Structure 1
Amino acid sequence: MPYKSQPVPAGERILERYDATALVGLAVVIRNGAIERIDADGERTIELPHMKQLLAAAAVARCLMPIRLRGREMKAIRRIMGLTMAEMAKRLGERTATETVARWESDKQALGGYAEKVLRLVVCSALAKKAPGIRYDAAMLADLVIADPWIAEPAFTVSALKFEMVRLKEVSGAIVDAWDTKLAA
């Protein structure tokens, strides 16, 4: 993966800012990480390196935000996890019906506070290892106070998660590329 400070092959450039919302399903902006390629015919393509890691990082980062999850976000997160509604319901516990997940995702039924924390815990526990650039500990969710800004302002929109590709050194000593939110802010 070329970084902003490294030379980029001819016909390629690293975009300073790229809105990846349509690809991720959550509001996501990539800084200095999307690679634009223009071929000989002038066709433009965009590559997001480490896409699976980006998806996991976006889901975990959104679950750590203290703002209530909306239906379309829950659906995007479930898809990032690769689960059907029935599989998500099963992960949330035997008392959660597939129809309940469908109502949450369509915003026909509000997700209760306890259920939302369980959902966030399930998501983060499943995806955190795939997102090494996002700091996660279950205690972060236990202490999370979730706000519902749509009560006071129905037109409220969640700020886009901002990510930048960084190099991390794992405990094993290996150097890995990771999507990080701290530098991108």
Structure 2
Amino acid sequence: MKCINCDHAMTTKRENVPYTALPGTVLIGVPVSRCSNCGEYEVAIPAIDELNRVLAGTVIRKRSRLRGGEVRFLRSYLGYSGSDFAKLIGSDPATVSRWESDKQPIGHHTDLLLRAMIALDRKVDEYPIAAFAEINAKETKRPQYAFRPTAKKWKPTALVSPRGKRLGHKSQRANVASSRTLSAA
């Protein structure tokens, strides 16, 4: 291997190197190529996606509150920018920044949420941020849900009468009540 700075041959040895993506982490026996002419070096981290997955799994098993570098690592592992992560969890980007710089501890529930997202492997492509922005923070009077069985699973559907007529608010309650009676039988 040749040096990218001076084009001299580099020597590769296995070394212990700090992993800057997660402060306090050391990678043992990683190939490091060094140029004896100019001092340039390159670290070759094999299977980096697997390394990050294992690190994330290790961090969420920690028995104390997450620290700033850990919050930053987990957020980055999930693929979120600081502002998108803030939107996702209903927080402010400045607050996320304070957590990540250890200027303010992360809240207990947010800590648990972040750990759960890692445990469930919920990466960014599964979370349309725009959809979360549309969620109304106000509580509705009574949520109404209807599901229809298909060959192998249940699918959400509108509440309708057996004749296919869409049901209004009062009928929805009656329909939900009658379905509870049927399921209890």
TM-score by length of 1: 0.49
Q: Which has the higher contact order (CA 8 A, sep 6+)?
A: 1
From the two aligned structures, give the one with the greater strand fraction. 1
From the two aligned structures, give the one with the greater helix fraction. 2
